[in-house]
């Protein structure tokens, strides 16, 4: 192999000179060219931008993928420039288990039906999570990663070059100072002054290049701010979807809860009692009332028409019982389906009570002069 001995010796000399200058500066034995205050502020701003960007990037990755093994796998695929294989989310996996369980327990049974409903909601939640992860990775993580792997590497490279230029400049200053001290070596002094002018020019040029790159950090902040807004918007949409899916599931389970428990009671009664046809409607209604044990049932209420037992309620004709009313806190907003129901607002307090023959999943609610049916699942009953 052919080596350029002169270049190798020259590079070794430069490296040795820089090392000596750096060491003497650390020991306080040599002067150091200081950068102006604005430049130092730019350097400090660039450093904490890099440090905090790294921390935010890593913690966002943990948020999107809590499994460290999965994160390592994704990192390796990324470094190998290969597509990351599609991974089933936890919600989708839970949905799969619930659906398979419902198949074994019987899709027509109350438990099987509920497993299917909940499993479908979990599948939708898993799909929403997948979309959120993809959006956050594309619109938030990728720009942060591009800064660290692109702009910051360029800034670091130019800062190292600037550091070398400064060491060369200070070394030339030191040599010139020594040459001036030697009265008989005027020629050496001239060479040192010429070298100092060249080194000063290179240092000034590199300082300007580095300054422009550091000032570009402001544009980086603006870009990351836009990406942060997009991340928040994606997260908001994701949680809004989850809330909507769970609200729909809660309504489905609330509307079918009475049917499930009523069907279970009748099914159990068939094995130990006469056929269901022999059971009078009042007996079945009385049997289902314990589904809401926290609300006492009033046997007779003056002023309540017989149509209540048939499922038809006129709120204006309902009178609260003398005893048995309770306070309840509303958990979620509820929009009344018709004039017999009472619309609810989350966190408000209302008075509730039960009527003979009512669906156990419903109560009568009162708010001032307003009155109507309210779903039990939307309430927190207070003592």
Task: Average pLDDT across each block of 10 residues of the chain; the chain has 383 residues. List them in order.
Answer: 59 71 73 87 95 95 87 75 77 94 92 93 94 93 94 94 88 79 58 84 92 93 95 95 93 70 44 40 40 42 41 60 80 89 92 86 90 91 81
| Separation between Cα atoms, residue 23 and residue 161, nearest integer Å | 18
Helical pair 5-26 and 152-181, crossing angle rounded to 10 deg: 80
Q: What is the pLDDT of residue 100?
A: 94
Residue 327, helix vs strand vs coil: strand
CA 227 centroid distance within chain? 14
| Separation between Cα atoms, residue 159 and residue 161, nearest integer Å | 5
Q: What is the pLDDT of residue 53?
A: 96
Q: What is the pLDDT of residue 68?
A: 85
CB-CB contact of 319 with 304 (8 Å):
yes
| CA-based radius of gyration for the chain | 39
Q: What is the pLDDT of residue 29?
A: 66
| Separation between Cα atoms, residue 192 and residue 200, nearest integer Å | 12
**Residue-wise burial string across 341-361, b where 16 or more C-beta atoms lie within 10 A, e elsewhere:** bbebeeeeebbbbbbbbbbbb
CB-CB contact of 168 with 14 (8 Å):
yes
| Separation between Cα atoms, residue 30 and residue 21, nearest integer Å | 7
CB-CB contact of 156 with 50 (8 Å):
no
Q: What is the pLDDT of residue 259?
A: 54
Q: What is the pLDDT of residue 136?
A: 94
| Separation between Cα atoms, residue 141 and residue 61, nearest integer Å | 8
Name 91's bridge partners: none
CB-CB contact of 111 with 260 (8 Å):
no
Q: What is the pLDDT of residue 269?
A: 41
**What is the residue whose two structure tokens read 């000063």?**
200
Q: What is the pLDDT of residue 373?
A: 92
**What is the residue whose two structure tokens read 């590199």?**
206
Q: Looking at residue 298, what DSSP letter applies? A: P
What separation in angstroms does the CA of 380 have from each of 99, 161, 331, 370?
31, 68, 7, 19
CB-CB contact of 150 with 223 (8 Å):
no
Q: What is the pLDDT of residue 256?
A: 65
CA 70 centroid distance within chain? 18
Q: What is the pLDDT of residue 2?
A: 52
Q: What six digits make up the tokens of 337? A: 């389906």
Name 341's bridge partners: 373
């Amino acid at each position: 192999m052919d080596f350029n001995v002169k270049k190798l010796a020259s590079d070794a000399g430069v490296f040795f000179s820089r090392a000596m200058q750096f060491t003497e500066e650390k020991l306080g034995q040599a002067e150091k060219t200081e950068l102006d205050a604005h430049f130092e502020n730019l350097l400090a701003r660039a450093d904490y931008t890099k440090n905090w960007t790294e921390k935010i990037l890593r913690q966002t990755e943990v948020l999107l993928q809590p499994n460290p093994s999965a994160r390592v796998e994704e990192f390796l695929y990324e470094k190998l420039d290969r597509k990351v294989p599609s991974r089933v989310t936890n919600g989708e996996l839970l949905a799969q288990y619930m659906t398979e369980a419902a198949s074994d327990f019987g899709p027509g049974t109350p438990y099987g039906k509920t497993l299917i409903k909940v499993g479908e909601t979990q599948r939708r939640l898993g799909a929403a999570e997948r979309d959120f992860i993809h959006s956050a990775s594309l619109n938030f993580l990728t720009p942060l990663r591009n800064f660290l792997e692109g702009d910051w590497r360029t800034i670091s490279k130019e800062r190292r070059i600037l550091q070398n230029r400064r060491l060369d400049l200070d070394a030339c200053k030191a040599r010139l100072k020594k040459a001036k001290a030697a009265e008989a070596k005027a020629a050496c002094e001239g060479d040192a002054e010429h070298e100092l002018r060249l080194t000063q020019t290179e240092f000034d040029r590199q300082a300007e290049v580095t300054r422009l790159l550091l000032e570009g950090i402001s544009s980086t902040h603006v870009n990351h701010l836009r990406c942060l807004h997009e991340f928040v918007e994606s997260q908001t949409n994701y949680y809004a979807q989850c809330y909507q899916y769970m609200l729909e599931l809660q309504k489905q389970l609330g509307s079918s809860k009475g049917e499930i428990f009523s069907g279970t009671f009748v099914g159990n009664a068939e094995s130990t009692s006469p056929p269901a046809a022999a059971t009078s409607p009042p007996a079945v209604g009385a049997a289902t009332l314990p589904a809401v044990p926290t609300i006492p049932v009033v046997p007779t209420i003056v002023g309540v028409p017989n149509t209540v037992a048939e499922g038809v309620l006129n709120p204006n004709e309902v009178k609260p019982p003398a005893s048995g009313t309770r306070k309840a806190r509303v958990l979620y907003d509820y929009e009344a389906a018709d004039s017999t129901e009472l619309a609810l607002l989350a966190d408000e307090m209302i008075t509730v009570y039960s009527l003979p023959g009512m669906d156990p999943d419903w109560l009568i609610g009162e708010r001032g002069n307003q009155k109507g049916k309210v779903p039990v699942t939307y309430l927190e009953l207070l003592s």
